[in-house]
Amino acid sequence: MIRVGIVGSSGYVAGELIRCLLHHPAVKIDFLYSHTSAGVKVSEIHEDLFNYPKLTFTNQLNYHINLVFLCLGHGNSKKFLLENNFSDDTKIIDLSNDFRLQKNAILNGKEFVYGLIPLNKARIKTANYIANPGCFATAIQLGLLPLAAHHELNNDIHIHALTGSTGAGQEHTATTHFSWRENNLSIYKPFNHQHLGEINESITSLQKEFQNELNFIPLRGNFTRGIFASMYVNSNLSEAVVYSLFQEFYKNQEFVYITKKTINLKQVVNTNNCLIQLQKIGNKLLITVVIDNLLQGAAGQAIQNMNLMFGLPESTGLIFKASNF
């Protein structure tokens, strides 16, 4: 059994990690660390886990654990690791943005591998430290990397992507409470979202000459879970050729599916799946991607990475059915 701990256990992503890991056949949860909720029953915060009454948060760490997931706020993972020395045998998967960029990937000799599996699967299998990608970054990269791999991103890219309210975290803010979010839609961080850096690094790792603009408009949607991303580029490739490129790129990848049919969020919410629709309209190639921001965009992808790091089948503990109605 893989003994795991979760640090920062009270947020939405941690809640999904706990839910999935409780049913993972090769995992035993050793501790759920929360400095603000030590001694509190997990079900008091994650109410869907009411049937695990003995599960409690702790402020005690096991520094010799097999794997620790860091679900801390951005900027806090680095600080936490500087203050806490885990065993050299302890693997780490960080779900913040602290180590995603190459300039930030090394801390005290620990080198974090960027955990986007279609891009870095071989490295992930032998890695001890993983920087889990951002949710928007995951959806957008899965829509663009097959083109980058064939050097077909030769003009500016235009991206619109909507995320649900869970993407903003569990803390209540002016733009997350029900009376503001319901029947509403808004743009935030246009053209300068923090995930653009990791997207650019991934694209240029496959297409080194890429210097075009990523024009990204993120939007807050009035739903709880999911990311609906649409992006378009000018392309001389036929739809059939593009479809073939995507099928080839993802032929050995779990959870990524290519289609020509119209897609929607309900097909993937509560699953670890990514669904990509391709359409050629005139000289425009339209790519639409849907994922669950808490699973394929966070906790599910982290468990995929764990499975690879420990030599397990990639899909272990991650086969879920979407609730389509």
- Listed range (60-69, 129-138, 188-197, 287-296) with the worst mean pLDDT: 188-197
- SS3 at position 300: helix
What is the average pLDDT across 150-169?
89
Q: Would you state the pLDDT for residue 169?
A: 54
State residue 112's pLDDT score.
98
Sign of the C-alpha dihedral computed for residues 216, 191, 172 and 20 taken in this order: positive
pLDDT tens-digit map of 183-236 = 889 998 899 988 999 999 999 999 999 999 999 999 999 998 999 999 999 999
CA 303 – CA 318 distance, rounded (Å): 8
Top pLDDT among 97 and 172 is at 97
pLDDT band at 290 (very low <50, low <70, confident <90, very high): very high
Quote the pLDDT of residue 167: 67
Query: Which phi-psi region, left, alpha or beta, contains residue 191 (left: φ > 0; alpha: ψ -120 to 50)?
Result: left
Domain locations along the chain: 2-132+298-309, 135-291
Using CB atoms within 10 A of its CB, is residue 122 exposed (0-12), middle (13-18) or buried (19+)?
A: exposed
What is the average per-residue pLDDT within 281-285?
96
Average pLDDT (282-304) is 97
Q: Is 70 exceeded by the pLDDT of residue 171? A: no
φ/ψ (deg, to 5) at 246: -65, -40
Q: In the chain, what is the greatest distance between 2 CA atoms, to the nearest angstrom? A: 60
What is the rounded CA–CA span in Å between residue 213 and residue 190? 13
CA atoms within 13 A on the CB side of 110: 22
| CATH code given to domain 135-291 | 3.30.360.10
108-129 tens-digit pLDDT: 999 999 999 999 999 999 999 9
Q: What is the pLDDT of residue 260?
A: 92
Q: What pLDDT does 201 receive?
A: 96
Q: Taking all residues of the chain, what is their mean pLDDT, rounded to a whole number?
A: 94
- In the residue annotation, 274 being an active-site residue is answered as no
* pLDDT tens column, 33-67: 998 888 999 999 999 999 999 999 999 999 999 99
**Per-residue pLDDT, 216:** 96
pLDDT of residue 300: 97
SS3 per-residue string spanning 153-204: CCCCEEEEEEECHHHHCCCCCCCCCHHHHCCCCEECCCCCCCCHHHHHHHHH
Name the architecture of domain 2-132+298-309.
3-Layer(aba) Sandwich (3.40)
CB 78 within 8 A of CB 98: yes
Segment 152-163 shows an average pLDDT of: 96
Please tell me whether the overall predicted TM-score, pTM, comes out greater than 0.85 for this model. Answer: yes
Q: Report whether 102 contacts 202 (CB < 8 A).
A: no
Return the SS3 of 90.
coil
pLDDT for residue 94: 98
Q: Give the pLDDT confidence score for residue 249 in this predicted structure.
A: 97
| Separation between Cα atoms, residue 176 and residue 167, nearest integer Å | 10
* Percentage above 90 pLDDT, the chain: 86
